[in-house]
Amino acid sequence: MLEIPEAVTIARQIEDTLLGRTVVGVQAAFSPHKFAWYYEDPAEYPASLIGRTVSATAAPGGKVEVSAGDATMLFGDGVALRYWRPEAALPAKLQLLVQFDDGSAMTVSVQMYGGLWCFPRGQLDNYYYDVAKSKPSPLSEAFDEAYFAIIIDDPAVQKLSAKALLATEQRIPGLGNGALQDILFFAGVHPRRKVADLSPPERAGLFASLKCTLADMVAAGGRDTEKDLFGNPGGYLTILSSKTHGQPCPRCGSLIVKAAYMGGSIYFCPDCQPL
């Protein structure tokens, strides 16, 4: 699933690969998918995009945003974006195909669910998009200790677990159940730990881990559990993920545990992250 590290990586790759390229062909809703979400009628996507030139990219809150003329393409978590060189064989099933003037193409396919919106600039009415654009990224200087304190000191947040703090209610747009596992590991905080029980040093450690771990994930081109624009796994080797549970903790040697919590899986070291 797209989270901050992958969205930033893919947005940069699109900028490096497709900036200045003009759209010459579009097919939307190519393969029917019950949980593929479009902006209004996807049959209008060709008229919106053909003849427009890719001019900018961004990664607001774990989404990938591509500007082309007066149109914006926005891709949310649950979609897979891939770049194809000229003459490459394209996949049979996909939800969006965008072809460019040099013969290359970008495809977008939906896994379980996902949004692939194409709309006139500024016209998308979407709560998650608006929140993502209005709040500072944890990769930015604006997301400092004072800003984090505003989030964590909220009386409603004090009643929550560490996982709920980081990954619910769009408190930190783009941070989800995947990236938070290593953030909590390096902070030494169990996912079920109550926010109210965190000591001042633990709060400071959680903030530092949030900033540093996400920066490391981005610097490595995303996590090894996800793929980039070219179909390659990210270079950040996850400590806690589906790839590592049952293996020894790199710090203490205890076996990494997987458990169900809040509708998803959590991973933790029972010794390094005591509850």
What pLDDT band is residue 41 in, cutting at 50, 70 and 90? Answer: very high
Q: Which residue has the tokens 């902006």?
A: 39
Inform me whether the pLDDT recorded for 198 exceeds 90.
Answer: yes
Per-residue DSSP letter, 62: G
Inform me whether the pLDDT recorded for 30 exceeds 90.
Answer: no
Cα-based angle 182, 184, 190 (whole degrees, multiple of 5)? 125
CB 19 within 8 A of CB 66: no
Inform me whether the pLDDT recorded for 23 exceeds 90.
Answer: yes
Class of domain 4-134: alpha beta
- What are the structure tokens assigned to 74, written together? 């926005």
Per-residue DSSP letter, 223: B
Please state, in angstroms and rounded to a whole number, the distance separating the CA atoms of residues 267 and 269.
7
Please state, in angstroms and rounded to a whole number, the distance separating the CA atoms of residues 2 and 10.
10
Structural domain spans, the chain: 4-134, 145-268
Say yes or no: do domains 4-134 and 145-268 share a fold: no
Q: Count of alpha carbons within 13 Å of 7, Cβ hemisphere only?
A: 28
User: pTM, whole model, 2 decimals?
Assistant: 0.96
Average pLDDT of the residues of the chain: 97
Q: Around Cβ 181, how many Cβ atoms within 10 Å?
A: 26
Transcribe 115-137 into DSSP letters: EEEEEETT----HHHHHHHHSPP
> Which among 264, 263, 270, 269 has a CA at the least distance from the CA of 244?
269
Please state, in angstroms and rounded to a whole number, the distance separating the CA atoms of residues 88 and 86.
6
Cβ-based burial of 180 (10 A; exposed 0-12, middle 13-18, buried ≥19) = buried
* Mean pLDDT value across residues 216-232: 98
- Single-letter amino acid, residue 137: S
Q: Around Cβ 142, how many Cβ atoms within 10 Å?
A: 11
Kindly report the CATH number that applies to the domain delimited by 145-268. Answer: 1.10.8.50
CA 106 to chain centre: 18
Residue 111, pLDDT score: 86
Inform me whether the pLDDT recorded for 227 exceeds 90.
Answer: yes
Residue 104, pLDDT score: 98
